[in-house]
Amino acid sequence: MAESTPEGDTGLQSAGAPHPDDEAVIALQAAILDKLTYHVGKRRAIATERDWLMATAVAIRDQIVDRWLSSIDRTYQQGSKRVYYLSLEFLIGRLLFDNLNNMGKLATMRAALAGLGVDLDKLRALEPDPALGNGGLGRLAACFMESMATVDIPAYGYGIRYDHGLFRQVMKNGWQQEFPEDWLSQGNPWEFFRPEVSYDIGFGGSIEAVPISEAAVRHVWHPAETIEAVAYDTPSVGWRGRRVNTLRLWSARSTDPLLLEAFNHGDHAGALAEQVRAESISKVLYPSDATPAGQELRLRQEYFFVSASLQDLVRRHIRAFGHIGTLAEKTSIQLNDTHPAIGVAELMRILLDIHQLPWEEAWRMTQATFSYTNHTLLPEALESWPVPLMERLLPRHMQIIYLLNALHLGQVRQEHPNDERLLSSVSMIDESAGRRVRMSHLAFLGSHRVNGVSALHTNLMRETVFHDLHQLLPDRIVNVTNGIAFRRWLHEANPRLTRLLIDAVGPEVLDHEDALAKLQPLASDPAFQKRYAAARYVNKLALADLIRRELEVRVDPASLFDVQIKRIHEYKRQLLNILEAIAFYNAVRARPMDDWKPRVKVFAGKAAASYHQAKLIIKLIHDVARVVNSDPTVRNVLKIVFLPNYSVSLAEVTIPAADISEQISTAGMEASGTGNMKFALNGALTIGTMDGANVEIHERVGGDNMFIFGMTAEEVAARRAQGLDSRDVIAASPILAEVLDSVANGVFSPDDRDRYRGLVENLRYHDYFQVCADFDDYYATQRRVAQLWRRPEDWWKAAILNTANVGWFSSDRAIREYAGLVWNVPAWQGG
C-alpha cells in the first residue's frame, strides 16, 4: 500500500476518517529509531521519554524540511513578492502536534509510537511551551504565520529568540512571583542554527558627513558599540503542508565574547562584561522599563531585531532580483504594533547611507514597503522614547527622524497655515512631556497602509489617537479584523468536537471554515445537542483533573465553567469579575436553601512584573478563593481557582472546557481580542461588553446567543468627561456597596486588613475603567446566564450556533484580506 497522503491522514479518527496504512507506520518507526540512535545517541532500551520526544520531533522535522526547501525554491523560481512580518512576540506554543496535524501525520505518528511502546500524548506534555509572547499580540503573530503558509503566501516572520522569554509565573501565598522561563534548557528540536547568517548592529557613536560632490554629502555612522545578531530558523508549516515558511529569530552575542587580557589579570567577571551586556538583549521578553536602564534595554531590543531583519531581507532581495530598485514591488513589511516602528528610520538609513538613493526615492520606497498594524489605543502601548535617549543610542536615526518630521510639518503648515495645535498633534516629536519621539506617528507616516484589528477599534483610531493624521491622510487607515488558526484552536485543542463536526457536516470542515455554517439546522436537534454536550463534558473532565493536580481543589465538571484567561490588566477588568463573584458568594450565604446552580470561576493570566495594581488584583482573586473554597455554607455552589503560569498549552485545555467566556473589558479599550473567537468556536457563550471584536461576534452569532452588558464606548467617554468619581453609583447599588466594604475592611485579608483599602478607594474616587458603573448590569447579566444554564436545550442550541457562526473569524480570512488590501500579493482561496 502507498503511504497516506497529507490530505488523507487528518489524525482525527472519526467514522469517516481513514486509518494509517502499515507501510507508512513502519517507515515512520524506522525513521524514529534512526533519529534515536544517530541524533539523540541512545539505544532503545535506555531511552527516556525526552529522548523519544527529540527523536520523534526530528523525524517529522525531516519531512517538513523537504516541503520547506521546496517552498523556498519555488519562491525564487517564480520571482514572488515576499511578506515580512516583524513582531516582538511570537507565541508559537508547542509545535509537535501542530506540525503533525498540519503535515497530516498525526494518526500515523500515534500508531508508529504505539508500536514502539511510546505514548504520543505523554511526549506532547513533555514538550516545552516557548514563552515568546505575553498574550494576544504574540499568539496572533503565530496564527498569522501558520495562515500565510496555508494560503500560500511566501513569508518570513522576524523576531527575537529570547533565552528565557516571558517570565515563569509562580504563586507564593497568592502573590505573583517571576522566575526565568527555561524553555531552551533541554534543546529545541525544531530550530536550525544559522551561524553564517549574522549582522552587525550598531549603537551610539558619531556621524561623519563625507562630501561626495560640491552639493551633496554622504553620512557615515561610526557606532561606538557593535553587537552581532545571529539567526535561528524554525519552519512554519501551513495546513496540509501546502507551503512551509520561515520564522527567523535573532539571538544577540558579543563580537568580542571574552576580554582575554582582563581575564588573565584575574578580572574574570570583568572579562565577560561585554558579553553579558550584548546577550542581555535577547535574554528576556519585556524587561521592566521602570528604570532608565530598563527603558534603554527595551529600545536596544527593538532596534536590534529590526535592523537585523531589514539587513537580512535587503540582502535576500538583492540576491533574488539583482538591485535595490524593485524592493517595494517585491517586498511588503508588516509592523505588528509599534515595537518595530524604528524600522522606518532604519530602512531609510540603509537606502540613503548604504545604497545611496536620493532622499525622495528612499522615502517613496520606504512608504510603499511598510504597513503598520495598530493593536491598542492605550497610551502606554503607543510607544514613545525620550529624545536624549534616541540621540545617544541611535544618532543617525534621530537625524533622519528630524528631517522627516521637518519635511512633514512643512507640508502641513503649507496646507494648514497658522494651525499650531494641528502641527503639535501630528508631529513625530511630542514637545509636551519632555520631548519624546512618537513611534506610532513614525510608523503611521512611514507606511502606505495602517490598519486596526476590529471594526470598532479602527473607527476609534480614526476618531481618537490618529484623528488629526487621519484628517491629513484619510485613505491610509483600513480595517482587518483579527482571526485565529482553526487548526490549533479546534482540530488540536478540541479533537472530540472536531470529530463530531466531521460526522455532522463532512470532512470539508477541516479545510473550509465556512462549512461550519452547515451546523445551523442541527442546533435544535436534541440528539445532536446531546452529542455536542457529551464531547464538551469530556473536556470539562480534563480541566477539572488539571485543577485538582495543580491546585488540589476539586470541582464538579457538571458545574458551569465561567472562564477569564488573559493578560491581567485593569482595562480587561478581572477586578469586575471577582467583585461579582463576591456578590454571588454573599447571595448564596444569605439564602443557602435556594436552588443555586453550581459555578466554577476560572482565572489565569500574568501581570507585568512592574504592574503593582494588576498583581494586587491577582492577590485579591487568591484571597477571595481561599475564603470561598473553604466555606462549608457554600456547599460547592461556587468555586474560584487561579491557574498559574498561563500559556498556550494551558489555554488549549481550558478553552474547550469553558461554558462562559468572560470578555468584559471597558468598552473602547480592547482593540479586538482573539480569545473571544477561540471560546465561541469551541461553544462557550460570551458575556461581554460591546468592545473589540465582540461587536462583530455579536453581528454573526446574534444577541440571543451571547450576553451583552455595560456601557458602549461612547457612553464610557461621556461618563469620563463628567469625572471619575463613582460614589454616586456605589450609593445607588447596595450589592456593590456591600462588596466594596467587605474588601476594604479586610474580610478577605484578615492578615492585612488594609491590603485592599487603596484599591477600593481608587474605585470610589478614580474609577477610570468604569468597574463600578458597569457592575449592576454585569451582576444582572450573570443572573441571566444562570437562568439559561437551567434550560439545557436552549443553552446547547446557543452553544452550537456559536460554533456554527464564527467561521468568518479564521486567520486564513484575515490573511487573505491583508493580501488584497495591504500587501498586494496573491493568496490561495481554497477549493
Q: Which three cell numbers stand for residue 324?
A: 535595490
CB atoms within 10 A of CB 581: 22
CB distance 813 to 687 below 8 Å: no
Among 246, 4, 198, 228, residue whose Cα is nearest residue 107: 4
CA distance 605 to 344: 33
Q: Per DSSP, what are the bridge partners of residue 254?
A: 227
CA distance 280 to 252: 8
Continuous segment of H or E residues that includes residue 76: helix 49-78
Question: Among the options 35, 164, 375, 449, which is catalytic?
Answer: 375
CA distance 114 to 19: 14
Q: Based on the residue annotation, tell me whether 639 is a catalytic residue of this protein.
A: no
Q: Report in angstroms the alpha-carbon separations of 727 from 223, 566, 736, 743.
A: 56, 29, 11, 16
CA distance 307 to 791: 58
* Burial track 419-451 (b if 16+ CB lie within 10 A, e otherwise): eeebbebbbbbbeeeeebbbbbbbbbbbbbbbb
Q: Based on the residue annotation, tell me whether 566 is a catalytic residue of this protein.
A: yes
Among 774, 777, 782, 743, residue whose Cα is nearest residue 761: 743
Question: Among the options 240, 300, 462, 566, which is catalytic?
Answer: 566
CA distance 152 to 826: 8
Q: Based on the residue annotation, tell me whether 567 is a catalytic residue of this protein.
A: yes
Please name the residue that has the C-alpha cell 502507498.
Answer: 2
Q: Based on the residue annotation, tell me whether 674 is a catalytic residue of this protein.
A: yes
Question: Among the options 678, 755, 797, 816, which is catalytic?
Answer: 678
**Longest CA pairwise span in the chain (Å):** 93
Cα angle for residues 757, 759, 760 (degrees, 5° grid) = 65
Question: Among the options 369, 376, 481, 674, which is catalytic?
Answer: 674
Question: Among the options 243, 339, 476, 572, which is catalytic?
Answer: 572
Beta strands 155-160 and 82-86, pairing class: parallel
Among 397, 408, 399, 402, residue whose Cα is nearest residue 367: 408
Q: What interhelical angle do 455-463 and 694-701 show, nearest 10?
A: 140
Q: Report in angstroms the alpha-carbon separations of 565 from 101, 406, 652, 736, 786.
A: 25, 45, 11, 24, 20
Q: Based on the residue annotation, tell me whether 572 is a catalytic residue of this protein.
A: yes
CB distance 252 to 228 below 8 Å: yes
Q: Which three cell numbers stand for residue 90?
A: 511570537
Q: Which three cell numbers stand for residue 804?
A: 456554527
Strands (E), 60-129: 82-86
| DSSP track, 717-773 | HHHHHH-S--HHHHHT-HHHHHHHHHHHTTTT-TT-TTTTHHHHHHHHH--TT-HHH
Question: Among the options 161, 567, 622, 755, which is catalytic?
Answer: 567
The separation between CA 674 and the C-alpha centre of its own chain, rounded to angstroms, equals: 8
Active site residues: 375, 566-567, 572, 674, 678
